[in-house]
Amino acid sequence: MKRCAIFLLCWLLVSCANRQLDATETLSDKSVAPVNAEQSGLAAVEKPTAKLEEKKRAKLQRQHARKKQKRFDVLASDAPAREFFMSLVAGSDINMVLHPEVAGNITIKLKQVTLEEALKAVRDVYGYDFLRKKYGYQIVPRKLQSKVFRINYLNINRIGHSSTAVSSGQISSSGKGENTSGSSASSSSSSSGKVSTVQSTQIQTQSKSHFWNKLDNLLTMITGEGEGRKVVVDANSGIAVVRAYPGELRNVETFLEQAQLSLQKQVIIEAKILEVSLGDGYQAGIQWDTFGLGYGGELAATSHEVAGALESRVVGELVDKTVEGMFTFGMNFTDFTGVINLLQSQGDVQVLSSPRIATVNNQKAVIKVGTDEFFVTEISSSTTSTSTTTTDSPEVTLTPFFSGIALDVTPHIGENEEVILHVHPTVTEVTERVKDIGIGDDNLSLPLAFSSIRETDSVIHAADGQVVIIGGLMQTKQETKTAGIPLLKDLPGLGRLFQQERDISKKSELVILLKPQVVDSDQWKDDYDMLLERFPNLLQ
C-alpha cells in the first residue's frame, strides 16, 4: 500500500512536469513568433536597400575593372595590321575578331597604355575602327557604316514674342507718305490722311525653336557630302539615321550628346512679386544701397530703362558682414526671406503673387494671373435715311483688357550652371472711367478703360540659386480721407460743417524677386535613391 502511494505520487509529479514543459514550449513558440515577424519586416526593409547596394557594387566593380586594365608597351615597325591586332591580345583571355578587309601595315610606339588606348591611337592615325561587343573586340576597316541615333526632343516649332513699347501720342498726316526716324523717338506714316503712333521707346524680343528643321543640315555639315554619305532625320519617331565613316559617326554622336545635354537642362524659376508701401523716410524709393553698399557688398547694375523710373538691378556680391540689429548674410541672398525682411524695414510689404514655374533651356515660360475685361475702344455711327426720317445708329467695338500680373521668362543655362534670364514682368490695373461722347443729337456715356501699367524688359545674369531683384517701378496713388464728428457729419445739408476732407498721396514701389534653380538630372536620381533608402516601403 505504501508502494502504491509512492508510485501515485511520482506519477503525479511527472504529469505536472510534462504540463509545465508543454506550457513552457507554447510560451516559447509565442515569444518567437513576434521575433520572426520582426525579422520578416526587416527583410522587407532590407530588400530595396539590397538592390541599391547591388547596383552600387556593380558600378564600383566596373570602375575597378577599368582601373585594373593591364598596361603595356607597344612597339611595331611596318608590321602587318592583322598580326599587330592579334598580338595585342596574345596570352590574355580577351577575344578579338578581325574583318576580312583589314589589311595594311602599322608603325607605332606607345608606353604604358591599356588595350583600348592602343586601339584608339591606331584608329586616330590609320582609321581602323574597333567595336566593343559582349564577346570581345571587333576590328573593322575604314568604310562607310550606318548608325541609328535616338533623340529625345519634342517635335514642335515654338515661337515666343515679347514686346514693350511706350507711346508718346498720335500724329496725322495729310501730305505725301513719309518716314522719319531718330535716336530717341520715331514716327512713320505711309499714306495721306492716316493716323500713326509715335513710339518713343520700343523693345521687341523673339525666340524661335526649330530644332528638327535645322538638325538635318547640321548633321550633313558634320559628315560632309558625297561618297555615299547620307543623313535621314525622322522627327516623329525621334530617330536620325546617318551613313558615314566611323570617325564622322563619332563626331555626330558627340554633337548629339552635347546638344541633348544642353536642350534637356531644366531650371525652376521661383518669383515673388511684392508691393512695398514706402515709409515716411523712403518717399524717394527703396534705398538699395543698404542691401550691399557699406556692408562689404556690391550692387551690379544692369538696368534697361523703358520709361520714367523703370529700372532693374541685380544683387551681386551682397552683405558679407553681420548687420548690427538685423541678421547675418552670406555672400549672396539665396532665399526670399532675407530680402523681404530688409524691405520691411523701409515700408509695408504685400505679396501680390508667388508664381513658380519650370522650363527647359532657351524655352520661354509665361505666367499670367488676372482677368480680361471688355471695354469700348472704337465707336462709329452709320446713318440710315428714309423719305421721312434720318436715323443715326452707333457701332461700338469692344476689346478685352487684361488686369493682373503677367511674367514671361526665357532662361539660358551655361556650363557652370550660371543662368542668363530674359525677364518681362507686367503688372496691369484696369479701371473703368465713363466718358460722355456726343453723336449727332444724342449723348452717349461710354465705359472706357483706364490702364495703369508697370512693366520692364531686361536681360539679367544670376548664379544658380541666387536671388535677383528687379525694382524701381514706383507708383503714386491719391486718396481722399473723410473725418468728422459722429452723427453730426451725417446731417443732411449741415453735415459738411462737421467734417473735413484730406487728400493723401501714397507712394509704392513694385519689387520683383526671381530665383533660378538649375535642376540636375543626376540629382533627381540621387534624391530618388535616398528616398528609397529612407522609405523602402514607399512604392509597395
Q: 299-313 pLDDT, tens per residue?
A: 433 333 333 333 333
**Nearest Cα to 327, choosing from 310, 344, 303?**
344
Residue 525: which pLDDT band, with cuts at 50, 70 and 90? low
Q: How do residues 438-459 score in pLDDT, each as one tens digit?
A: 766 677 777 788 888 888 888 8
Retrieve residue 255's grid coordinates: 554633337
Q: For the chain, which residues make up each domain, given as ranges?
A: 71-142, 144-161+205-264, 268-283+327-383+392-534
Residue 314: which pLDDT band, with cuts at 50, 70 and 90? very low
Over residues 27-37, mean pLDDT: 37
Over residues 47-55, mean pLDDT: 52
Cα 77 to Cα 83, 109, 190, 512, distances in angstroms: 12, 8, 79, 70
What is the share, in percent, of the chain residues with pLDDT greater than 70? 68
User: What's the chain's average pLDDT?
Assistant: 72
Q: What are phi and psi of 219, to 5 degrees?
A: -70, -35
Determine how many CB atoms are found less than 10 A away from the CB of residue 200: 16
The residue ranking higher by pLDDT, 495 or 512, is: 512
For the ranges 93-102, 164-173, 222-231, 518-527, the lowest mean pLDDT is seen at 164-173
The sheet with strand 230-234 has its strands ordered as 145-150, 239-244, 230-234
Q: How do residues 344-364 score in pLDDT, each as one tens digit?
A: 888 888 888 888 888 888 888
The residue ranking higher by pLDDT, 129 or 176, is: 129
Is the model's pLDDT at 35 over the cut of 90? no
Q: Which residue has 500713326 as its cell numbers?
A: 196
Cα 71 to Cα 57, 66, 114, 118, 504, distances in angstroms: 24, 11, 5, 10, 85
Q: How do residues 373-400 score in pLDDT, each as one tens digit?
A: 888 777 777 777 777 777 777 777 888 8
- What pLDDT, on a 0 to 100 scale, did the predictor assign at position 346? 81
Contact in structure between 157 and 363 (CB atoms under 8 Å): no
Q: How do residues 454-492 score in pLDDT, each as one tens digit?
A: 888 888 888 888 888 887 777 777 777 777 778 777 778
Is the model's pLDDT at 86 over the cut of 70? yes
Over residues 204-222, mean pLDDT: 84
Over residues 234-250, mean pLDDT: 90
- What pLDDT, on a 0 to 100 scale, did the predictor assign at position 9? 42
Task: Give the DSSP H/E element, type plus range, for residue 352.
Answer: strand 347-353
Helical H segments across 321-477, by residue range: 336-344
Determine how many CB atoms are found less than 10 A away from the CB of residue 115: 19
User: What type of residue sits at position 149?
Assistant: F
- What pLDDT, on a 0 to 100 scale, did the predictor assign at position 326? 29
- What pLDDT, on a 0 to 100 scale, did the predictor assign at position 194? 44
- What pLDDT, on a 0 to 100 scale, did the predictor assign at position 97? 93
Residue 80: which pLDDT band, with cuts at 50, 70 and 90? very high
**Nearest Cα to 291, choosing from 259, 329, 264?**
329
**Sign (positive or negative) of CA dihedral 161, 164, 170, 176:** negative
The residue ranking higher by pLDDT, 252 or 330, is: 252
Rounded CA separation 435/445 (Å): 6
Most distant pair of Cα atoms in the chain: their distance: 151
- What pLDDT, on a 0 to 100 scale, did the predictor assign at position 192? 38
Retrieve residue 300's grid coordinates: 551690379
**Nearest Cα to 368, choosing from 404, 332, 316?**
404
Cα 344 to Cα 273, 278, 318, 332, 466, distances in angstroms: 14, 9, 18, 19, 20
> CATH says 144-161+205-264 is which class?
alpha beta
The residue ranking higher by pLDDT, 196 or 266, is: 266
CA 341 and chain centroid, separation: 26
Rounded CA separation 394/503 (Å): 39
Over residues 45-69, mean pLDDT: 56
- DSSP secondary structure string, 196-207? EEEEEEEEEEEE
- What pLDDT, on a 0 to 100 scale, did the predictor assign at position 201? 67
Cα 134 to Cα 55, 85, 413, distances in angstroms: 20, 18, 38
Residue 264 is classified by DSSP as: T
Over residues 208-220, mean pLDDT: 85
Is the model's pLDDT at 247 over the cut of 50? yes
> CATH says 71-142 is which class?
alpha beta
Retrieve residue 172's grid coordinates: 496725322
Residue 511, strand partner residues: 274
For the ranges 49-53, 161-165, 423-427, the lowest mean pLDDT is seen at 49-53
Retrieve residue 398's grid coordinates: 469692344
pTM of the entire structure?
Answer: 0.59
